[in-house]
Amino acid sequence: MIGEQKICFSGVQPSGNLTIGNYLGAIRNFATFSEAYKCFYCVVDEHAITVRQNPADLRRRTYETLALYMACGLDPEKNTLYVQSHVPAHAELAWILNCYTMFGELSRMTQFKDKSARHADNVNAGLFTYPALMAADILLYQTDVVPVGIDQKQHVELCRNIAERFNQIFPDTFTVPEPIIPQSGKKIMSLADPTKKMSKSDENPNAIVYILDDRDTIIRKFRRAVTDSETVVRFADGKDGINNLMTIYACFTGKTMEEIEREFAGHGYGDFKLAVGEVCADALAPVQARYRELLADKADLEAQMKRGAEEAAYYARKTLSKVQRKLGFVQLR
């Protein structure tokens, strides 16, 4: 807590084009915390390198992710927007927390198992200890709340365990954070296989709708979305494809499932898919326009990176110094 204001932290990897799952499950909701919380929103480039990256692509996507943050409504005057690798305290605290994180805890992380299966030729130590770096990201700022998608809840729970373990040995060091998971859009599924989460790393381009897809592409992808053999638009067990499309439509329109069912009573899946594509494209159009404006001024984005890093580093150093002092590290003045 900074003064009387509570702290909010979250981050997004610049490891690929962001999807509507990232948008609906996380980024779109970030701006709602700006009034009630002091918010730190980070482009987590250090997390991205657990999987091999093309350096030029990683550099470009770092700029793009920062621009998307602002295009999605994050005002740099109200939020601290910065790049993780520009604040060395993240990596420094991560090493310390590695020493207070149990091997068994890390081995139970679902994302480690999933990524290890997908990248069997590169199961590196960073991929395994990634949650300790995520814990450092959060705990550095004495974070009260962490808005995350449901797939990251396990990592925040581990962060809480690490904080509590450290606090038992060294009392009153860290604030123990709470995850905040949006009730709508908390898990957007693949359009090609609605039993799986929509992932920016999916090899099937028709499975994913990216935030920056143009209108025709968005509508085409929704027209091709997998559904079922029925023709009735209703939310029910066994209708994974339609359930996913209804969830997306609900997120963009604010309508309930019952309202959507009434709206499309008597309409087939073709009409419904078109409607979902149109509301998605309509919602993303102003985001895309603002994004293009921001990305055209690279110098301004770099200036924002610098401002954000300086502010984040000020708060991060206070926590890191406190931790180092409690551990018994010699601190030079």
Q: What is the CATH number of the domain that holds 263?
A: 1.10.240.10
The answer to the question of residue 209 being in a domain is: yes
Rounded to 10 degrees, what is the CA torsion of 152, 157, 160, 161?
-130
Q: What are 115-127's pLDDT values in tens digits?
A: 777 767 778 888 8
Range of the domain at 72: 6-181+298-327
pLDDT for residue 305 is more than 70: yes
Same domain membership, residue 309 and residue 255: no
**Is 176 domain-assigned?**
yes
183 has a pLDDT exceeding 70:
no
Average pLDDT, the chain: 92
Q: What string of H, E and C letters represents the secondary structure of 112-140? A: HHHHHHHCCCCCCHHHHHHHHHHHHHHHC
Note the residue count of the chain: 333
Could you say which of 38, 197, 221, 273 is catalytic?
197
Give the CATH number for residue 115: 3.40.50.620
Both 169 and 274 in one domain: the answer is no
Residue 1 lies in a domain: no
**d(C-alpha 41, C-alpha 47), whole Å:** 14
Active-site residue, from 115, 186, 221, 239: 115
Instruction: Decide if 200 is inside a domain.
Output: no
Q: Is residue 196 part of a domain?
A: no
Token couple for 28: 């779109």
115 assigned to active site? yes
SS3 307: helix
Reply yes or no on whether 153 is catalytic.
Answer: no
Q: Are residues 252 and 310 in the same domain?
A: no
215 part of a folded domain: yes
Element (H, E) at 285: helix 269-295
For residue range 161-182, list pLDDT tens digits in order: 999 999 999 999 999 999 988 6
| Domains in the chain, number | 2
pLDDT in tens, 54-112: 999 999 999 999 999 999 999 999 999 999 999 999 999 999 999 999 998 888 887 77
Half-sphere exposure (Cβ direction) of 290: Cα atoms closer than 13 Å: 17
CA 225 to each of CA 49, 204, 288, 333: distance values in angstroms, whole numbers, following the listed order: 32, 12, 23, 61
Are residues 302 and 288 both part of a single domain?
Answer: no
pLDDT of residue 99: 96
Crossing angle of helices 110-118 and 153-169, rounded to 10°:
130
Residues 106, 242, single domain; the answer is no
162 and 85 fall within a common domain: yes
Spot the catalytic one: 78, 153, 187, 200.
200
Rg, C-alpha atoms of the chain: 21
Shared-domain flag, residues 119 and 173: yes
List pLDDT tens digits, range 214-262.
999 999 999 999 999 888 999 999 899 999 999 999 999 999 999 999 9
Are residue 164 and residue 54 in the same domain, yes or no?
yes
For the question of residue 196 being annotated catalytic, the response is no
Residue 83's SS3 state is: strand
